[in-house]
């Protein structure tokens, strides 16, 4: 941002009236609601609490404000949800088919392949992991193509280098992963101990729960070879 633009931004922040003390309480609350909803609506990613707090008075509760906005949206086809550490407008699941029909989302972009889902889930629970560690968890070689596809989708990124010989990169999930799947933090993933107790993280049972996962991985390896 050029110096002139930064100065304009700083000046606008200084003159922005957060408190709205000239308005009666009801009108003040309504204006705060409108501001918060407008910023969330315009944002391309979840908006953090710190950003929203700059829009309202010091004594205003963002949590209560969001509750009131959501109450007004109860009859609308979209809602404000908390994901990836912030707030975002999301259409309701009931209208997913209508949105797909209107935008003609192709099948490849609409979801992950079994192989991709298997690798992504493993990274989500056990990150940071190297590609060799991923392969050990899954029991089959994880192709670079699979890693590349998940990176291209924005779901994973490079993590810290592993202390293993050669210091290979590890992989971790991103905020885009949290946002896409509706998690606020990784703590919102299904309880790992319950999954382990149920045997769902056992390699054989895990692969059995994702039909065609092994075959899909083998096909990816053949295509990459």
Q: Mean pLDDT, 10 residues at a time, over the chain (225 residues)? A: 52 75 92 91 86 91 93 88 87 74 47 78 86 80 86 88 81 86 79 53 46 44 43
- State which fold the 110-224 domain adopts: Arc Repressor Mutant, subunit A (1.10.10)
Percentage, residues of the chain above pLDDT 90: 18
pLDDT tens figures, 83-118:
888 998 888 878 777 766 655 434 444 467 777 888
Q: Rg for the chain (alpha carbons), in Å?
A: 22
Q: Do you know the residue count of the chain?
A: 225
Per CATH, domain 8-94 is 1.10.10.10: yes
CA distances from 58 to 7, 18, 74, 98 (A): 24, 8, 28, 41
8 A C-beta contact, residue 79 and residue 92: yes
| Residue spans per domain, the chain | 8-94, 110-224
Instruction: Tell the residue number behind the tokens 């060799």, with chain if given.
Output: 132
Report whether the peptide linkage leading into residue 128 is cis, meaning its omega lies within 30 degrees of zero.
Answer: yes
**Fold: same for 8-94 and 110-224:** yes
């Amino acid at each position: 941002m050029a110096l002139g633009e930064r100065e304009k931004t700083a000046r606008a922040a200084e003159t922005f009236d957060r408190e709205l003390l000239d308005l009666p309480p009801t009108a003040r609350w309504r204006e705060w609601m409108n501001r918060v909803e407008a910023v969330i609506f315009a944002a391309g990613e979840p908006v953090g609490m710190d950003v929203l707090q700059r829009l309202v008075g010091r004594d205003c509760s963002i949590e209560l404000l969001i509750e009131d906005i959501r109450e007004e949206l109860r009859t609308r086809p979209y809602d404000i949800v908390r994901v990836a550490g912030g707030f975002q407008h999301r259409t309701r699941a009931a209208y997913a088919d209508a949105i797909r029909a209107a935008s003609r989302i192709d099948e490849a972009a609409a979801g992950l392949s079994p192989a991709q889902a298997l690798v992504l889930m493993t990274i989500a629970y056990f990150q940071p992991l190297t590609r060799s560690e991923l392969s050990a968890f899954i029991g089959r070689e994880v192709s670079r193509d699979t890693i590349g596809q998940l990176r291209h989708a924005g779901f994973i990124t490079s993590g810290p280098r592993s202390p293993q010989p050669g210091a290979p990169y590890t992989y971790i999930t991103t905020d885009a992963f949290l946002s896409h799947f509706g998690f606020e933090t990784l703590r919102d993933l299904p309880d790992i101990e319950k999954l382990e107790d149920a045997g769902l993280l056992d390699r054989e049972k895990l692969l059995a729960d994702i039909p065609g996962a092994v075959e899909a991985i083998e096909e990816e390896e053949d295509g990459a070879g």
